C-alpha cells in the first residue's frame, strides 16, 4: 500500500511538472559577446539534439568520476521541459525559454544510489542557469554571461 501511494505521488508529480511553465518562444539564441555567424539561429538544434556534459566551468568537478556515463540533457520545447540523466539518476524539470533566456524549474529525479557521483553538484549548477548559447556543436548553459555547464552534441 505504501509503495503504491509513493508510486502514485511520484507519477502525479511528474505529470504536474510536465504541465507547468510557460510555452517557449522559439526565437534566436544570442549573446552580446559572440559573433552572429557562430551562433545557432533558432531553437531547433536545442530541441533536436541530445547533449552530453563536456565540463563544469565554475565548480571544480572531475568528470572522470562518472563511471556510468556523463550527464545528458534533452529539451522538449513543445512541453516546456528538459530531461536527462545526472550520471546516476534520470531527471525532468519544467523550463521557461524566451530567446536566449532559460529558466529551469524544480528538478525531479529518480533516487538510485550511486557512490562517488557528484549528482547534487550537477543539479546545483543546473539551477544557476538563466541563459543558453549554441556555438557549432556545443551548448553553453550560462549564468548571465558566465558559462556554468558546457555540453557537446551527443551524435
What is the phi/psi pair of residue 65, to 5°? -75, -10
pLDDT reported for residue 88:
93
- Report the mean per-residue pLDDT for the chain: 78
Q: Is the pLDDT of residue 92 over 50?
A: yes
Q: Is the pLDDT of residue 120 over 50?
A: yes
Nearest to 68 by CA among 127, 112, 14: 112
List the chain domain ranges: 2-153
Helix (H) or strand (E) holding 127: helix 119-127
Alpha carbons within 13 A on the beta-carbon side of 2: 0
The pLDDT of 70-91, averaged and rounded, is 96
Higher pLDDT among residues 13 and 134, named by residue: 134
Task: Please state which architecture CATH assigns to domain 2-153.
Answer: Beta Barrel (2.40)
User: Which letter, b or e, does each residue of 89-111 get, where b requires 16 or more Cβ atoms within 10 Å of its Cβ?
Assistant: bebbbbbbbeebebebbebbbee
pTM score over 0.85? no
Amino acid at each position: 500500500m505504501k509503495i503504491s501511494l509513493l508510486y502514485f505521488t511520484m507519477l502525479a508529480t511528474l505529470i504536474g511538472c510536465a504541465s507547468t511553465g510557460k510555452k517557449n518562444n522559439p526565437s534566436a539564441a544570442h549573446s552580446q559577446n559572440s559573433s552572429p555567424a557562430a551562433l545557432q539561429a533558432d531553437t531547433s538544434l536545442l530541441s533536436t539534439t541530445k547533449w552530453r556534459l563536456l565540463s563544469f566551468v565554475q565548480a571544480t568537478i572531475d568528470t572522470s568520476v562518472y563511471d556510468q556515463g556523463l550527464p545528458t540533457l534533452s529539451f522538449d520545447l513543445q512541453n516546456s521541459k528538459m530531461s536527462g540523466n545526472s550520471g546516476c539518476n534520470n531527471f525532468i524539470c519544467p523550463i521557461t525559454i524566451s530567446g536566449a533566456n532559460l529558466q529551469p524549474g524544480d528538478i525531479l529525479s529518480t533516487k538510485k544510489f550511486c557512490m562517488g557521483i557528484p549528482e547534487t553538484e550537477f543539479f546545483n549548477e543546473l539551477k544557476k542557469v538563466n541563459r543558453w548559447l549554441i556555438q557549432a556543436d556545443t551548448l553553453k548553459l550560462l549564468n548571465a554571461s558566465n558559462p556554468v555547464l558546457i555540453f557537446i552534441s551527443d551524435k
